[in-house]
A and B are shown apart, each in its own frame.
Chain A
Amino acid sequence: MSEQTITTEEAATEHETGGISIGRVGLYATLVGLVGFYLIPIESGLVTSIKTPTALQETFPFLPPAGSGITVEKWQIAFDYLAPGMVNSMLFTIPSTILCALLGSMAAYGLTLVDWRGQIAVLALFIAGIFVPYQAVIVPLFQFWSQYMQLGTRLSFLWGLPLLEPHYATILELIITHTAYGIPIVTLLFRSQYKTMSEEMIEAARLDGASVWRVYRRIVLPLSIPMFAVVFIFQFTQIWNEFLFSLTIIGSTNDPAASATLILSGLGQSLEGTDYPLRMAGAFITALPTLLVYVLFADKFAEGVQT
């Protein structure tokens, strides 16, 4: 490893104190200091969320409260507010993540492993789609769903069925919207993998008599499972965290379809001022699924970010 060489030589040139150079100590001190920088806002939020009003006034914001200053009351309140939002967020995040991954993988296959003229132009449109600011489409999008589609009315025959509720129309709108806007980045992620796939292997499969569809189904799909994991993790956090679509398509924090981020944005607002412990508790509850996914699959997430 390159680092190895550098380290050994560096150790030789710098002052040594018991085998560890001062330079290395400084390096690690910097890194640990940076950990503080990146974690303090989060840590401070966490300790604040369990403080009683008195403790909030009396303790430092980054120190945990003493025994009597601890309360989980705010977590309970926040949870009561957010629970329906969490359910709604799950309801649109999971289906759109799966749809995005499937459609993106198919698009990447059709645009990468099957060769045809004009492919690059189509591909460029896909990739440019990643970078289009949502602001540029948000008014037509709102128009489309609220004026033209009105899924709630169109699908009204469904709401009598068990387990179905009218606000699922909004959820469905969000699923479709998130899927559509997620396709470009997912296509790019899959394409980056498919580009490295052996062309000869695909040709071998075609000579073996497999159709374009069978090559996808039997060769490409099984080989993309690791990339599916990356995409699931990356898209799940992206869609869960999204706010602008929730704000415009759902509209109100009181809407039965309100997502977790939407409810959080209005949590703890009152005339007396901001209830910080409640907000912090709400922030953690909202962030919980993404935090969990991130902590468990940090490497996959990083891989998704890199591409």
Chain B
Amino acid sequence: MAETQLDDVRKVFTEDDGNEIVAVNDVSIDIEDGEFLVLVGPSGCGKSTTLRMIAGLESITDGEIRLDDRVINDLPAKERNIAMVFQSYALYPHMTVRENMAFGLEESTDLSDDEIATRVEETAEMMGIDPLLDRKPEELSGGQQQRVALGRAIVREPAVFLMDEPLSNLDAKLRAQMRTELQQLQEQLETTTVYVTHDQTEAMTMGDRIAILNDGELQQVGTPLECYHEPANAFVADFIGEPAMNFFDVTRRNADGDGAVLVGETLEYAVSNDITTAIGDRNELVLGVRPEDIDIQHSDGNPRRADGHTVPATVTVVEPTGDENIVYLDLGEDGSETAIVTIDGMSRIEAGDSVVAHIPEDAIHVFDGKTNEALHNRRVESSEPRAPNI
């Protein structure tokens, strides 16, 4: 059980030809004791490198990593009291499950053989793998191997668990099941856990907090809902949420009286005063809105009042998923911009329909067009946060 701090951690790889590649750039994260932190980002974003630096498998170019206020930069991996679960599980193929689980205890502790045996059996029982103890990894299914890999980490009772995409080799159903199980297990053990994944669904559902990385830079650290509703920048807004947020490049035009109008290719969107204040004098902007926040109605039905928040559109594709429909729209008269909208599964909207899309002002995000930084985020009713749509 330990607090883990990353302080301006930096990793530079030098290639053979002398080229330097910054894999992780000044990342600072405080991971609280017992927290489940998910490091998420697209492949090559530096998340695995960060994890490997915590593990001691990768040297740290600059900055500090502290475990309970002790700097561990130069501590060899074996002395860090950290256990890691690998994507490939990395079980020792020539050892039985029992030997696999005992290995770490034999190597890193002074426990007697009896104590080790007891602990292995207790853990195996807890994980439900006790019937497999005398089998070799090759005789196990993928899911069983995964469990053994977890058990091997748990049995050591380490200060920190590190998990590098541990579920990505499982099939979809098993993955969903293991997701829940892992979470429960972590709550029960209260061991600080750093979990790396490229899958935003895993990040959202499992993490106490998530840290989003891109190109080696930390984009945001926060609870899943914070990152969902209050993204720090357009990258986070885009990365978190499925289907992804809709973005429209817009410029600002001052309106008569209060507020302003954000003008895009197909959009003329009126915004009120507090948003204009947030925008300041920036002119290149990006308007963002989540698919579930857009309402659509048949344009011939009951024409909606033109309040500066609507845009005519044509439905191009409808993908029913059961509980909801994912609707692809061509916006405007010529359909030069597109948007994705999710609506209730029972709605009757078909491809080819002409609709009016309504974007409520309290659901929009505005980003700086140059820096991608969030200038305004949607309003969240703190009493009853909307369930994220993932």
Contact = CB atoms under 8 A, between A and B. Distances in A.
**Do A and B touch each other in the complex, judged by CB within 8 A?**
yes
A287 interface: no
Interface string B93-125: 110000000011001110000000000000000
A289 to B, nearest CB: 31
Interface residues of B, number: 26
A223 B94 contact: yes
Contacts of B103: 205, 208, 210, 218
Nearest to B93: A223
Interface in B108-157: 108-109, 152, 156
Given A200-B87, A203-B57, A218-B103, A210 B92 contact: no
A204 B78 contact: no
A207 B91 contact: no
B311 interface: no
A204 B90 contact: yes
Nearest to B162: A207
A72 interface: no
A126 B85 CA distance: 35
B77 interface: yes
Interface string A204-232: 11111111001000110011000000000
Contacts of A210: 78, 103, 107
B83 interface: yes
- Tell me whether chain A's interface is mostly helix, strand or loop, or mixed: helix
A198 interface: yes
Contacts of A198: 88, 90
A302 interface: no
Nearest to B89: A200
Contact of B94 (A200, A204, A209, A222): A222
A305 interface: no
A121 B146 CA distance: 39
Contacts of B93: 201, 223
A131 B186 CA distance: 56
Contacts of B107: 205, 208-211, 214
Contacts of A214: 107
Contacts of B84: 203-204, 207
Contact of A209 (B55, B57, B91, B104): B104
B57 A211 contact: no
B57 A208 contact: no
B94 A201 contact: no
B82 interface: yes
A219 B57 contact: no
A201 B91 contact: yes
B235 interface: no
B88 A207 contact: no
Nearest to A203: B57
Interface in B14-52: none
Interface in A87-113: none
Interface string A185-206: 0000000000000101101111
A210 B76 CA distance: 11
A259 B92 CA distance: 44
Nearest to A218: B103
Given A223-B93, A223-B94, A208 B104 contact: yes
B78 A211 contact: yes
B88 A200 contact: yes
Nearest to B57: A203
Nearest to A211: B78
Nearest to A206: B77
Contacts of B76: 206
Given A200-B87, A218-B103, A207 B77 contact: yes
Nearest to A222: B94
A127 B56 CA distance: 31
A207 B92 contact: no
Contacts of B56: 207
A201 B92 contact: yes
B90 A206 contact: no
Contacts of B86: 200, 203-204
A201 B78 CA distance: 14
Contacts of B88: 198, 200-201
A207 B94 contact: no
B56 to A, nearest CB: 8
A294 B83 CA distance: 46
B166 to A, nearest CB: 11
Contacts of A208: 78, 83, 103-104, 107-108, 152, 156
A219 B78 contact: no
B108 A209 contact: yes
Contacts of B91: 201, 204
19 contacts: A200-B86, A201-B90, A201-B92, A203-B55, A203-B57, A203-B84, A203-B86, A204-B84, A204-B91, A207-B55, A207-B57, A207-B80, A207-B84, A208-B152, A209-B104, A210-B107, A211-B107, A218-B103, A219-B92
Interface of A: 198, 200-201, 203-211, 214, 218-219, 222-223
The 7 A-B residue pairs with the shortest CB-CB distance, nearest first, are: A209-B108, A208-B104, A209-B107, A200-B90, A204-B90, A200-B86, A201-B90
Interface of B: 55-57, 76-80, 82-84, 86-88, 90-94, 103-104, 107-109, 152, 156
Given A207-B55, A210-B78, A222-B94, 15 more contacts: A200-B86, A203-B57, A203-B86, A204-B84, A204-B86, A204-B91, A204-B92, A204-B152, A205-B103, A205-B107, A206-B57, A207-B56, A207-B80, A209-B108, A214-B107
